[in-house]
Amino acid sequence: MARIRNEKPLTEEQRLRKNEYNKRRYRRKKAEISAYGKEYRKKNAERLRMVSAAWREANRVATRAKNRKEYATSERRRLQAKENARRWQAANPERANECRNAWRKRNAERVAAAGRDWEKRNPHKYAAHKKLRYAVRKGEVSKKPCEVCGTKKNIYAPHDDYSRPLDVRWLCRKHHMAADRVGGTRKSRYARKGASL
Ligand SMILES: [Zn+2]
């Protein structure tokens, strides 16, 4: 049986007081719930990590598709992804190198096309690289070890002045990239590449 409530309408003062009371109660409740959640997450950290790892694994394809779509459509997401990648690469340099090499191997076609594209966009630089390579082949210029660490592997010869193609510095890949970064002029990893020899 429905209870019939014969309530008088509240006065303005009563209404405000009731409002205030409810608000306080709500805030207390919210703080309680949030503290409980924090405590729970702390206690079950390991289990929760496993659960979310399992979820990621189970939803890998969908998650990747979603991330890709966001990456393609959102500038903010793109910047965030790049920043995350940069941070990860800095923290895991060796693994990052392996991944980079594997990617280049998987995408050899694309890498080669990018190289050709670069040559087209930078004809004077490409010409300087070619002249230097030719001079090395003819024995007019001798290839030198890295100026910084002395290795003979992965040697690059960046030009400071492309109009003097045989006047270069000799650096390994690592120190070539480091020198470029110090210069602070590079727009991307490949903006200023030395002739690789
Ligand atoms: Zn070096």
114 C-alpha to ligand 1 centroid (Å): 25
At a CB cut-off of 8 Å and minimum separation 6, what does 143 contact? 136, 155, 157, 170, 197
Locate tokens 């997401």: which residue?
77
pLDDT 10s digits, 54-90: 998 999 999 899 999 999 999 999 999 999 999 999 9
164 sits in which H/E element = none
Q: In what order do the strands lie in the sheet with 171-172?
A: 171-172, 155-157, 195-196
The structure's pTM equals 0.51
Local structure of 138: helix, strand or coil:
helix
pLDDT 10s digits, 84-130: 999 999 999 899 989 999 999 999 999 999 999 999 999 999 999 99
Q: Of the candidates 123, 178, 125, which has an alpha carbon nearest to the alpha carbon of residue 148? A: 178
Phi/psi at 105 (5° precision): -70, -45
Task: Give the other-Cβ count within 10 Å of 63's Cβ.
Answer: 13
Residue 26 tokens, joined: 């709500």
Question: What is the spatial distance between Cα 144 and Cα 28, in angstroms, rounded to a whole number?
Answer: 72
170 C-alpha to ligand 1 centroid (Å): 9
Which string of b and e fits 44-56 if b means at least 16 CB within 10 Å? eeeeeeeeeeeee
144 C-alpha to ligand 1 centroid (Å): 11
177 C-alpha to ligand 1 centroid (Å): 10
